[in-house]
Structure 1
Amino acid sequence: MTDTTGILDEALQRLHTSGPERLGRLTNHAPMAVEALAAHGQSRAVHRWLDLYAPKLEEFPAPFEPVTDANWQAALGDPRRAADWIAYFGREIEARPWRDVLAEWWPRLLPGLYGSAAHPVIRVGHAVRTLEESEAEAGSGQAGSGGQAGSSGQAGSGQPGGVTEPRLAELAHGLGYWAARHLPLAGVAELPGAASAAGALDAVPPIANRADGGYPTRLGRVEGLPVWAASVDDPEEARRRLTELVRAATHRYATHGHGDETMLVHAATAPNAVLRALPALPRALWVPSLHAAWTASAAITAMYAPDEPVAYAAPGTFSAEEVFERAMAHGDEHVIKFADTALDVGDERALAAALRAVELSEPLV
């Protein structure tokens, strides 16, 4: 459900004066969380949540050197160039339809999906969902006669109807962050896997010294991952398998989330971001997207999964709306984003996993 009140646009404008990271390594989750709140009919809570999150925001970084069509390869993966990359994608999206920009850059960025715990692609997935739903509602006549744009104004004539400038700018921020934190994962051996996504995740071997080092250090210790869906070459089958992976990783959190209540969220939200982007991408990109998403989910599992699972039963039966309201009341950005993915999966076990995240995580206060 796309926000037609203008609140999401206001929140994005407010956030685009902040950088994509803080403390030089931690991701700014606010754009993703506010999009999730708005997508589930909680626009009224957006600014109140942002007020609580505001101490975690830092100023937008200074430019370093402009990114151009001639020098972009040298700038890929350079976090000093975050502002330059965001400006580059802002210019590109202003000049061309956003789907064209996404289709051109997706295969360039996909090999580096693993940087910053896959947060950049997750941010892109949220941005794409909003743009797709905005267009769909505008096309069906559901959007108000000006409510969606709010005070932000509609995007230029080069873009499809229904989108607004802050939502296009959010895609530019997400793509720019991805380019700046582009980090490939190479030299990983192929290990025996399983037929199902759940079985393949169970087969992921843990890295050595899991208790030592942050994300980049641990990622460097991923030496081998099980093979899963490697033979898929049909786009529709790739989408089906990606849906299966999101479901399996979400379900798994209920019994394995205690390994790291924050980082293991991304084993589900990263492939779900890729799944959300598929409808906006050429079908030829769906199969490589599946393979990259599997590698990300499996690598995060290798880095943070616990030694043993635990039994978990949800404390009662709750509707999807009630589960998301509990996540919103808890306030942690990862809990909100994980609940958003759990509602996409939609079954009882996924909702139980979302409640497990509420139970394990520290609330935002």
Structure 2
Amino acid sequence: MADIEARENPTSVASSGTLDEALERLHASGPEFEGWLSNHAPMAVEALVRHGQAATVHPWLDVYRTRLDELPRAHYPVTGANWREALGDPRRAGDWIERFTRLLAERPWRDVLAEWWPRLLPGITAAATHPVIRVGHAVRTLLDGEDATGAPLTGPRVAELGHALGYWAARHQPLPVPVRLGAPGTAGTADVAEALAAVPLVPDRSGGIRDRLAQLPSTPGWPARAATLRPPAGPDEARERLGELVREATTRYAAHGHGNPVMLVHAATAPNAVLRTLPALPRELWAASLAAAWEASAAVITAYSPAGPAAPRPEGGVPGTAEEVFARAAAHGDAHTIKFTDTALDVAAAEPERAPLVWAAAAASRELIAPA
């Protein structure tokens, strides 16, 4: 029944019991496994349900859950007095999840989000941007599931926001050299495509994202070349510019994804998570949200983008509808491909004329990333 409902209304998962069941299963698991790998399941199952693939959720989850760790235990409460010292301490993940679970039980979720969003934004690149992406998926389900009074219809989705915010707080870590859009002395005149092309690359292309981002202080052109994006004139322009960033980062993947197929999807999915969250935030936070989303995309690109684009892929064979595109991603099974295709569908829905470009990017993710 939930599968039928999702197919009839792919833009809303408010009535889907499948998503709530999946989230309840997952909330016994931690946000990471095997040391520090991110648990992608809450994000992937949300996308699967949304795009008419609810019937695949539990079988997919049966396989994925075998690698997950248990939810970390809380040891020492995070409070209004000590939260700053606990911020960015992954050993306190259980404490942070308990903290947000308690806050969300006491206050409306929008109020909690508005208070903590600006506190967490400076650490948007932490854990390879996975925490903010998880928050974006959680907020989207909450916005879908509100009744006329604005009250959430289901508890698991509120709980998921608590897990996502707790993960972000535990892994919070600002860049060693942050990007300051509109700061004195920066040009700030480029459009999104130009600014993405100007981002410098770290010298040492080995190691994980933490090793690569640690090179930013010695990377020629960082952060000046990453700060050439033109700042927005107001909240509406910030939202428009954020949409452009998601579009350009998505379509760019088709030619540049080979630099690191898995990591480079985050250059698009992280800013899209921020874009999805904007409707739940006060407008005065939108410009800062754009700045943080840009920093996240720029950091991923400087860490992983190849020196040049790949040869154009031959045309043909690309499915022509959103349903076909996502069905192929679901059949592929990798969580990154599922989430990237979910973002590609957002771009195509906003700008139908660009569908062939984003379909090519989605196809590239299926070709470059190993199937699950």
What TM-score do you get using the length of structure 1 for normalisation? Answer: 0.90
* Aligned counterpart, 2:191: 196
Q: Structure 2 CA distance, aligned partners of 1:97 and 1:63?
A: 23
* Aligned counterpart, 2:322: 320
Report if aligned partners of 1:250, 1:350 keep a CA contact under 8 Å in 2.
yes
Q: Structure 1 CA distance, aligned partners of 2:33 and 2:48?
A: 22
Q: Structure 1 CA distance, aligned partners of 2:308 and 2:44?
A: 30
Q: Is 1:21 aligned with 2:36? A: no
Structure 1 residues 163-172 or 49-58, which shifts more? 49-58
Q: Structure 2 CA distance, aligned partners of 1:105 and 1:12?
A: 22
Q: Is 1:82 aligned with 2:83? A: no
Report if aligned partners of 2:104, 2:112 keep a CA contact under 8 Å in 1.
yes
Q: Structure 2 CA distance, aligned partners of 1:314 and 1:228?
A: 34
CA gap of 1:31–1:189, structure 2 versus 1, over 3 A, is closer
Q: Is 1:288 aligned with 2:288? A: yes
Residue 62 of structure 1 deviates from its aligned partner by 2.0
Residue 194 of structure 1 deviates from its aligned partner by 6.0
Residue 193 of structure 1 deviates from its aligned partner by 6.7
Report if aligned partners of 1:193, 1:200 keep a CA contact under 8 Å in 2.
no
* Aligned counterpart, 1:353: 361
Gaps of 5+ in 2: 1-10, 181-185, 349-354
Q: Which amino acid aligns with 2:169?
A: A
Question: 1:234-272: per-residue Cα shift (whole Å, max 9, x none)?
Answer: 000000000000000000000000000000000000000
Report if aligned partners of 1:15, 1:30 keep a CA contact under 8 Å in 2.
yes
Q: Which amino acid aligns with 2:69?
A: E
Runs of 4+ in 1 over 4 A off after TM superposition: 188-194
Residue 229 of structure 1 deviates from its aligned partner by 3.6
Identity %: 58
Q: Which amino acid aligns with 2:244?
A: E
Residue 192 of structure 1 deviates from its aligned partner by 6.2
Secondary structure of residue in 2 paired with 1:46:
helix
Secondary structure of residue in 1 paired with 2:231:
coil
CA gap of 1:97–1:162, structure 2 versus 1, over 3 A, is closer
* Aligned counterpart, 1:258: 258
Question: 1:11-31: per-residue Cα shift (whole Å, max 9, x none)?
Answer: 000000000001121000000
Q: Which amino acid aligns with 2:360?
A: A
* Aligned counterpart, 1:363: 371
Q: Structure 1 CA distance, aligned partners of 2:307 and 2:65?
A: 36
Q: Structure 2 CA distance, aligned partners of 1:178 and 1:189?
A: 19
Report if aligned partners of 2:79, 2:99 keep a CA contact under 8 Å in 1.
yes
Q: Structure 1 CA distance, aligned partners of 2:269 and 2:156?
A: 23
Structure 1 residues 185-194 or 95-104, which shifts more? 185-194
Secondary structure of residue in 2 paired with 1:41:
coil
Q: Is 1:219 aligned with 2:220? A: no
Report if aligned partners of 1:188, 1:222 keep a CA contact under 8 Å in 2.
no
Residue 313 of structure 1 deviates from its aligned partner by 4.1
Structure 1 residues 13-22 or 345-354, which shifts more? 345-354
Report if aligned partners of 1:36, 1:337 keep a CA contact under 8 Å in 2.
yes
CA gap of 1:286–1:32, structure 2 versus 1, over 3 A, is same
Residue 56 of structure 1 deviates from its aligned partner by 2.1
Residue 230 of structure 1 deviates from its aligned partner by 4.5
Q: Is 1:184 aligned with 2:174? A: yes
Report if aligned partners of 1:274, 1:289 keep a CA contact under 8 Å in 2.
yes
Matches within 5 A, 1:339-350: 339-346=341-348, 347-350=355-358
Q: Structure 2 CA distance, aligned partners of 1:68 and 1:162?
A: 25
CA gap of 1:314–1:59, structure 2 versus 1, over 3 A, is farther
Residue 58 of structure 1 deviates from its aligned partner by 1.0
Secondary structure of residue in 2 paired with 1:268:
helix
> Between Structure 1 and Structure 2, how many residues are aligned?
342
Residue 188 of structure 1 deviates from its aligned partner by 4.5
Report if aligned partners of 2:191, 2:230 keep a CA contact under 8 Å in 1.
no
Q: Is 1:91 aligned with 2:102? A: yes
Q: Is 1:209 aligned with 2:204? A: yes
Q: Structure 1 CA distance, aligned partners of 2:151 and 2:188?
A: 45
Residue 314 of structure 1 deviates from its aligned partner by 4.8
Report if aligned partners of 1:314, 1:355 keep a CA contact under 8 Å in 2.
no
Q: Structure 2 CA distance, aligned partners of 1:73 and 1:359?
A: 43
* Aligned counterpart, 2:42: 31
Q: Is 1:171 aligned with 2:161? A: yes
Q: Which amino acid aligns with 2:192?
A: A
CA gap of 1:343–1:314, structure 2 versus 1, over 3 A, is farther
* Aligned counterpart, 2:242: 242
CA gap of 1:192–1:205, structure 2 versus 1, over 3 A, is farther
Q: Structure 2 CA distance, aligned partners of 1:328 and 1:269?
A: 17
Residue 197 of structure 1 deviates from its aligned partner by 1.1
Gaps of 5+ in 1: 140-158
* Aligned counterpart, 1:149: none
